[in-house]
């Protein structure tokens, strides 16, 4: 990606130390980073730390280098502003349009996407004043992340933790790729996402698995949650992905467990996104003790396989039978290669018909594409015949386009 100018605003909270990792990750991605802390942020982290990490001067007020009019210039030139942590006070000042320091001045002059990553105590987060300020900032097109839940400054726990640096920089990268803000258009929508690969046990130590990394499904869950949806993620095996902020995660192992979780949770959901790589077959027998090789000959055991239920087709059937009255959009995923019978799109079109879902997201696989990589491309095929190409980009960008399309189907 070409080098962008990013302003990292840092407000005064205990989580200010995490801004150092955010700055480092954005620099490592090749961007130019200017850190603008508030006066109180410098009570937690010294200006020298931010100067060393960013390679740029650090000021808090509007009366340093006045000849360069920094409170106007920094905001005007920015491609993205990320405020991490965004305290209750900082968001109150931003919502009120104040410009009493360099950071709020920058926020008032910036015309690029702005991302706030809040961190505060749970009581402050849920206070009506903060709720109103967050709503105001979102209405104006700013992206205000959902805070993570967990341990806060003291012994207390709850929503209010700063999302991990990785989560913040992933979403910052998404805003740069999209070039516009992420709409807050899924508020209150209940979404069920499956992701990762299933593992079909052979014996207590072995399983049959697949190469799904879970990245695409996690990205859909993450983007849905940041657009306001109430998201549950049914997660199979992944490449060690962290739970996305603001998402409830249910971990499962086998296809049967995934199927049971979908059956239990789908009646509540309005959207089902089946990004998981569900095994089509499982061993007919699961040995209760480890299968040993024989010492007296070189023979190998045969493994008999039986079919697993098709979870996606089952959900489509259940909806047709009236068992999922809330369900409005069912999305399947397919990783395809072309073969002698036809190309990737040929197979995808027939899979969309066979599965009966509302939309099928298709990736071409093979030659190192789709699995275990961060960037990809593909198509979205809808039951109404629309076919949209997914431009090449990060799996988070693809997730945001998929959520755009789901939004269009939901609101049609």
Catalytic positions: 210
Q: CB 87: neighbour CB atoms within 10 A?
A: 25
Q: How far is CA 386 from each of CA 105, 238, 382, 383, rounded to the nearest angstrom?
A: 45, 31, 5, 7
Min dist CB 35 to ligand CTP, Å, is 43
Give the one residue of 79, 243, 310, 358 binding ligand CTP; rule: CB under 6 A. 310
Q: By CB under 6 A, tell whether 343 contacts ligand CTP.
A: no
Q: By CB under 6 A, tell whether 134 contacts ligand CTP.
A: no
Q: By CB under 6 A, tell whether 191 contacts ligand CTP.
A: no
> Are 308 and 257 contacting, i.e. CB atoms less than 8 angstroms apart?
no
By CB under 6 A, what part of segment 235-264 binds ligand CTP?
255
Q: Over the range 91-116, which residues count as b (16 or more CB within 10 Å of their CB) and which as e? A: bbbbbeeebebbbbbbbebbebbbbb
- Residues paired with residue 7 on neighbouring β-strands, in sequence order: 34, 81
Query: Could you tell me how many helices (H) and strands (E) the chain has, helices first?
Result: 13, 19
> Which CB, 149 or 257, lies closer to ligand CTP?
257
Strand pairing class (305-307; 230-235): unpaired
Nearest to 140 by CA among 184, 170, 80, 89: 184
Min dist CB 14 to ligand CTP, Å, is 41
Give the one residue of 175, 334, 364, 390 binding ligand CTP; rule: CB under 6 A. 334
Min dist CB 92 to ligand CTP, Å, is 44
Strand pairing class (32-37; 359-364): unpaired
> Which CB, 36 or 312, lies closer to ligand CTP?
312
Min dist CB 79 to ligand CTP, Å, is 35
Give the per-residue contact string, 259-288, with ligand CTP (x = CB under 6 A; - = no): ---------------x-x-x-x--------
Q: By CB under 6 A, tell whether 333 contacts ligand CTP.
A: yes
Min dist CB 223 to ligand CTP, Å, is 18
Give the one residue of 33, 175, 312, 402 binding ligand CTP; rule: CB under 6 A. 312
> Are 235 and 251 contacting, i.e. CB atoms less than 8 angstroms apart?
yes
Q: By CB under 6 A, tell whether 332 contacts ligand CTP.
A: yes
Contact stretch for ligand CTP (CB under 6 A) within 131-139, 178-186, 331-339, 376-384:
331-339
Give the one residue of 81, 182, 311, 362 binding ligand CTP; rule: CB under 6 A. 311
φ, ψ of residue 299 to 5 degrees: the values are -70, 155
Min dist CB 239 to ligand CTP, Å, is 18
> Which CB, 92 or 313, lies closer to ligand CTP?
313
Size of the site for ligand CTP (CB under 6 A): 12
Q: By CB under 6 A, tell whether 83 contacts ligand CTP.
A: no
The conformation of residue 176, written as its DSSP 8-state character, comes to H
Q: CB 355: neighbour CB atoms within 10 A?
A: 19
Q: What is the rounded CA–CA span in Å between residue 108 and residue 93? A: 10
Burial class (CB in 10 A: 0-12, 13-18, 19+), 292: exposed
Residues within the interface to ligand CTP (CB under 6 A): 255, 274, 276, 278, 280, 308, 310-312, 332-334
């Amino acid at each position: 990606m070409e080098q962008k100018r990013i302003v990292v605003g840092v407000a005064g909270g205990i989580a200010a130390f995490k801004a150092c990792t955010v700055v480092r990750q954005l620099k490592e991605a090749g961007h130019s980073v200017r850190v603008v802390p508030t006066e109180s942020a410098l009570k937690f982290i010294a200006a020298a730390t931010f100067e060393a990490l960013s390679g740029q001067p650090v000021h808090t007020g509007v009366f340093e280098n006045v000849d360069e009019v920094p409170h106007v210039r920094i905001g005007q030139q920015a491609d993205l502003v990320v405020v991490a942590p965004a305290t209750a006070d900082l968001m109150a000042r931003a919502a009120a349009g104040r410009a009493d320091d360099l950071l709020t001045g920058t926020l008032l002059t910036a015309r690029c996407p702005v991302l706030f990553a809040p961190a505060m105590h749970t009581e402050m987060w849920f206070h009506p004043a903060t709720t109103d300020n967050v709503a105001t900032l979102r209405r104006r097109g700013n992206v205000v992340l959902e805070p993570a839940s967990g341990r806060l400054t003291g012994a207390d726990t709850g929503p209010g933790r700063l999302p991990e640096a990785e989560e913040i920089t992933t979403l910052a990268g998404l805003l740069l790729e999209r070039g516009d803000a992420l709409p807050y258009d899924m508020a209150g929508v209940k979404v069920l996402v499956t992701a990762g690969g299933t593992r079909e046990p052979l014996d207590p130590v072995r399983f049959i698995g697949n190469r799904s990394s879970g990245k695409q499904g996690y990205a859909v869950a993450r983007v849905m949650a940041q657009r306001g949806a109430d998201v549950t993620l049914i997660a199979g095996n992944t490449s060690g992905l962290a739970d996305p902020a603001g998402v409830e995660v249910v971990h499962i192992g086998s296809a049967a467990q995934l199927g049971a979780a979908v059956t239990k949770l789908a009646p509540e959901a309005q959207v089902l996104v089946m990004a998981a790589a569900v095994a089509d077959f499982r061993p007919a027998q699961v040995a209760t003790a480890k299968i040993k090789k024989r010492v007296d000959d070189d023979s190998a055991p045969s493994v008999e396989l039986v079919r697993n239920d098709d979870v996606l087709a089952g959900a489509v059937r259940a909806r047709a039978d009236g068992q999922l009255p809330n369900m409005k959009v069912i999305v399947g995923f397919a990783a395809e290669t072309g073969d002698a019978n036809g190309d990737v799109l040929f197979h995808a079109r027939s899979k969309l018909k066979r599965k009966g879902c509302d939309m099928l997201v298709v990736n071409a696989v093979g030659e190192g594409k789709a699995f275990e990589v961060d960037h990809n491309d593909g198509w979205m095929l809808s039951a109404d015949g629309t076919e949209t190409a997914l431009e090449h980009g990060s799996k988070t960008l693809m997730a945001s386009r998929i959520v755009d399309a789901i939004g269009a189907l939901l609101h049609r």
